[in-house]
Amino acid sequence: MVDDNELNRLRNIAAPPPGADAKARAVEAAMRAYDLDEKTSPAAQGTAKGVRLTERAQKLWSEIMQKKLFATPAIAGLVALPIAGYATIYMLQEQPFLSGGGGKITETLADKPVARKKTNADAEARVAAEALVAPASPQSAAGGLARQGAPTGNAPPAPVASGDFAQDGASAPSVKGMAGTTAESKLMVQPPAMAADQMLPQEQNRDRLEDFKSNPVRAALEDPVSTFSIDVDTASYSFVRRSLREGALPQADTVRVEEMINYFPYDWKGPDVASTPFNSTVSVMPTPWNGHSRLMHVAIKGFDAKPAEQPKANLVFLIDVSGSMNEQDKLPLLQSAFRLLVNKLKLDDTVSIVTYAGDAGTVLEPTKVSEKDKILNAIDTLTPGGSTAGEAGIKEAYRLAQKSFVEDGINRVMLATDGDFNVGQTDDDDLKRLIEKERKTGVFLSVFGFGRGNLNDQMMQTIAQNGNGTAAYIDTLAEAEKVLVEDASSTLFTIAKDVKIQVEFNPQKVSEYRLIGYETRALNREDFNNDRVDAGEIGSGHSVTAIYEITPKDSGGEQIDPLRYGQAAVNNGGVANSDEYAFVKIRYKLPNEDASKLITT
């Protein structure tokens, strides 16, 4: 250690005069930093804490250097190293965690900045920080479509069905991802996804989720039949994506694999005529993660009706304007999203708007889209406040839907909310019965979730399934564009309802199987032929994919020991000994019919 006498001696040493070259370089650097500071607008105050990451470290460093304790480079270097390390750690600890689920976002104008000297690095860091938190203009957020970051890629090709499988260890066909599926929005600034080793522990919040357990491996000899309802919802993908972008692991029950898979479009072949609502495709390919099992795809692709062929639409926007919607990723994003949808509709379509918060109210009576300005003005005037009276809001929305009901058309309530119905009928079963009753009259219901922390995902899934609609989660304007503009036909125009899939596996060819996903859509075997059992819907041009992992017999990858005394039945014409892996059956109803039709593959 350095004693006090040595420090006193060093303090009294006169500093040498600066060299001419060093002085010129310092002046030039100061002028560059000053010019850069003059060209940069000051950041708004009142934004996220700790945006200027260099402030605390710089202040700490300045206070130390102002003490006339260090006079030579030797002593300065001796003490500067540990302090610089401490300052770096302190600065990193102050880095803000950017979350879309925070409190109300407010903006205030910054005071005129006090001129002070900065280094080039400090000035550049401040410019980058201000660019990160700069809000989008209201016109670009609410007035039109944010094209930046919109999906631009082509659909990945569908796998080719083949009876000849690749040898063990062969690589599966590559599938190109959709460019822009993680597109950013001009309305909300999101940080890039964090590395896995930087992730925070699994998030804890008040979102309500449906508990489920992953599908187990089943022995084809003991349980050869698998039955489930199709699922066209995409909420899980958007919800998980947002959690990962914010640096937190998503809650396990938000990860519904079938929704992750079906978020993307695939190039399955659709029907050529409208009389056939959809085509089915079954294909088998090697499993990428082992050499023993195979992946069997069961896919359907709906008929893609041209806009001119689509029927008139009667839409009721049921909008949650409770106090909890007063966040930038809730009501403001909702307003921008519904503006996109209105601009997509035809002039003879009808729009109504109902809000609920404490008491339900009609903001806009049924209005033709030809009066677009009137509809957009009604959307723009929505303001948050009050508690959530969901029951009264739904009843009023259905009343307006019946008032302007379109025969052989699209009649749909579109519920947009950030969470619970905490006033009125709070039980999901009560809501389910109400929506089932209205569904039978021909008015369907879709649900769109916004924000975090209060989202009732379980309720969204329940009422969307029972309302013959879809459940989507919108976290950015780009996602709103995908759901309400690019996928508008499949979101609004139903071509088949109560679609069920049943697969029977051949125990002579398949030892085991498991369905990947669809845990919340499982049906009993007898439900397949029961037309009173509700199932999923498919919209115009929509595709649905289900994947089974199957283990061929004697492949060496079995997880279940065979029965000592069991054997496959052979009294059905020898089908059990055929070369088929499985037999697939699909049931569906046309939108205006109550009797199902059967398709076999």
At 264-274, the pLDDT tens digits run 989 999 998 88
What's residue 456's pLDDT?
A: 77
Domain boundary among 407, 442, 462: 462
284 and 335 fall within a common domain: no
Residue 173 lies in a domain: no
354 and 266 fall within a common domain: no
Average pLDDT over residues 421-429: 57
In terms of Cα–Cα distance, which of 131, 126, 134, 133 is closest to 36?
126
DSSP per position, 349-418: -EEEEEEEESEEEEEEEEEEGGGHHHHHHHHHT----S---HHHHHHHHHHHHHHT--TTSEEEEEEEES
226 and 260 fall within a common domain: yes
251 and 322 fall within a common domain: no
260 and 367 fall within a common domain: no
What's residue 517's pLDDT?
A: 95
What's residue 108's pLDDT?
A: 41
What's residue 170's pLDDT?
A: 39
Q: What is the pLDDT of residues 543-568, one digit of tens each?
A: 999 999 999 998 888 888 877 776 65
Work out the pLDDT band at 313, boundaries 50, 70, 90: very high
Q: Give residue 123's domain range.
A: 4-133
In terms of Cα–Cα distance, which of 439, 550, 475, 416 is closest to 263?
475
Work out the pLDDT band at 153, boundaries 50, 70, 90: very low
Work out the pLDDT band at 205, boundaries 50, 70, 90: low
* Maximum mean pLDDT: which of 86-100, 326-340, 425-439: 326-340
Distances (CA, A) of 12 to 6, 16, 63, 248: 10, 12, 21, 54
CA 601 to chain centre: 33
Residue 339 lies in a domain: yes
d(CA 26, CA 283): 70
Q: What is the DSSP letter of 45?
A: B
Domain boundary among 410, 444, 462: 462
Q: Are 243 and 249 in contact (CB under 8 A)?
A: yes
330 and 352 fall within a common domain: yes
330 and 433 fall within a common domain: yes
What's residue 34's pLDDT?
A: 74
Residue 154 lies in a domain: no
Work out the pLDDT band at 571, boundaries 50, 70, 90: low
Q: Are 463 and 442 in contact (CB under 8 A)?
A: no
d(CA 205, CA 501): 35
Average pLDDT over residues 65-80: 43
Number of domains, the chain? 3
What's residue 555's pLDDT?
A: 87
Share of the chain above pLDDT 70, in %: 64
Residue 333 has pLDDT above 90, yes or no: yes
How many C-beta neighbours within 10 Å does residue 516 have? 15
What's residue 410's pLDDT?
A: 92
What's residue 186's pLDDT?
A: 36
d(CA 38, CA 306): 55
What's residue 294's pLDDT?
A: 96
565 and 445 fall within a common domain: no
239 and 300 fall within a common domain: yes
Residue 72 lies in a domain: yes
Residue 308 has pLDDT above 50, yes or no: yes
- The structure tokens listed for 478 are 């780009």
Residue 170 lies in a domain: no
358 and 231 fall within a common domain: no
Residues 6+ apart with CB under 8 A from 497: 468, 535, 537, 588, 589, 590, 591
pTM of the model: 0.65
CATH code of the domain containing 338: 3.40.50.410
Q: Of the given ranges (112-116, 486-490, 554-558), which has the lowest mean pLDDT? A: 112-116
313 and 451 fall within a common domain: yes
By CB neighbour count within 10 A (0-12 exposed, 13-18 middle, 19+ buried), where does 418 fall? Answer: buried
Residue 175 lies in a domain: no
What's residue 545's pLDDT?
A: 96
Q: What is the pLDDT of residues 241-251, one digit of tens each?
A: 999 998 989 88
129 and 20 fall within a common domain: yes
What's residue 272's pLDDT?
A: 87
Mean of the per-residue pLDDT values of the chain:
75
More confident call, 191 vs 538: 538
More confident call, 147 vs 414: 414
Residue 161 lies in a domain: no
What's residue 214's pLDDT?
A: 93
Average pLDDT over residues 400-424: 84
d(CA 592, CA 601): 25
Residue 153 lies in a domain: no
Domain boundary among 117, 133, 149: 133
d(CA 421, CA 434): 14
Share of the chain above pLDDT 90, in %: 40
Work out the pLDDT band at 424, boundaries 50, 70, 90: low
What's residue 599's pLDDT?
A: 93
What's residue 76's pLDDT?
A: 41
